[in-house]
Amino acid sequence: MSVPLGDADPAAVASYVARAVREGVIDDARIAGERLRLTASRATFWQNPRPWLKAPASGGMPLRYTLTNGHRHPVRPPSPAGEIYARYMPQVGMTFSLRTVDIDTHAQLFSDWMNLDRVAHFWDQRGTLDEHAAYLAERLADAHMHPMIGYFDDTPFGYFEFYWAKEDRLAPFYDAHDYDRGLHLLIGDSRFQSAGKLHAWWSGVLHYMFVDEPRTQRLVGEPRIDHVRHIAYMHRLGFYTLKEFDFPHKRAALTVMERETFFDTFRLP
């Protein structure tokens, strides 16, 4: 990209360039004749949170430590309400968004999804509306979790439960870093499991997890080991399986995605 310099004051141009580089808008700028040529790498462009985040980023939280169940970890920011992330997905012609769970709005939908046979097979949490509303309330009150509903345009299609790994039940099973982040999910509306929509919402979910907190260098998952298709798809996305291990309730694969891998190689349309 290039812009005309015109009669711009050289000192003002230098100040603009320095600010743009510092804020992660561009990588470099050079004068070419009477124009200023601006360059930004793919990774720089996609790591800038401002076009995508609709709520304050977790990355704005100063680093302070606390203890939870014997785990020392950073104090986590409160989960904002409403729409958190949104991005238009040209490959499906719809906007993908993540919205914080609202119990009045989402509890019945969540309960219906949890009682689907294909969801219950992996989540094993069939129950009543009251039980599922209590589950969501517990997640909303837990500082290390952020429960959200995924939408395409105005259609809710899935539940996404983001968590900080350092103080999670996963932490004893690997060397968790301060800002490692994980995810539990279910897709309630099967219309959104086609190849194009699948890639679109995965693209949005993973992108959100990295741009929300620039100190997050790894994403982790712990799918049940017999969820073979899910694990295979995660590998295609760029995750790798670090190891297999035993939770009290399941044997799981510990899957990992590195920040550099995501921004250097992931297809973000």
Query: 195 and 223: one domain?
Result: yes
**Which residues are annotated as catalytic?**
222
Query: 250 and 145: one domain?
Result: yes
Count the domains in the chain.
2
For the chain, what's the residue count? Answer: 269
pLDDT at 18: 84
Q: Using one digit for the tens of pLDDT, what is the confidence trace for 83-97?
A: 999 999 999 999 999
Query: 32 and 67: one domain?
Result: no
Query: 32 and 142: one domain?
Result: no
Taking every pair of Cα atoms in the chain, the longest distance, rounded to a whole number of angstroms, is 69
Please name the helix (run of DSSP H) or strand (run of DSSP E) that holds residue 261, with its range, or none. Answer: helix 259-265
pTM for this prediction: 0.91
Provide the token pair at 190.
């099967």
Q: What are the phi and psi torsion angles at 198 (to 5°)? A: -60, -50
Span 58-85, average pLDDT:
95
Task: Return the DSSP state at 179.
Answer: T
HSE, side-chain direction, 13 A CA sphere, residue 120: 11
Between 129-141 and 103-114, two packed helices, what is the crossing angle to 10 degrees? 120
Query: 36 and 53: one domain?
Result: no
pLDDT at 134: 98
Q: Using one digit for the tens of pLDDT, what is the confidence trace for 116-128?
A: 999 999 899 999 9
Query: 34 and 131: one domain?
Result: no
Query: 217 and 245: one domain?
Result: yes
What is the Cα–Cα distance from 78 to 37, expressed in whole angstroms? 40
Per-position DSSP letters for 71-88, written without gaps between them: EEEEPPPPPPPSEEEEEE
Q: Using one digit for the tens of pLDDT, what is the confidence trace for 159-188?
A: 999 999 999 999 999 999 999 999 999 999
CATH of the domain at 207: 3.40.630.30
Query: 19 and 66: one domain?
Result: no
What is the Cα–Cα distance from 149 to 157, expressed in whole angstroms? 7
Q: Using one digit for the tens of pLDDT, what is the confidence trace for 42-66?
A: 888 899 998 999 999 999 999 999 9
Query: 67 and 2: one domain?
Result: no
- Which range of residues forms the domain containing residue 142? 49-265
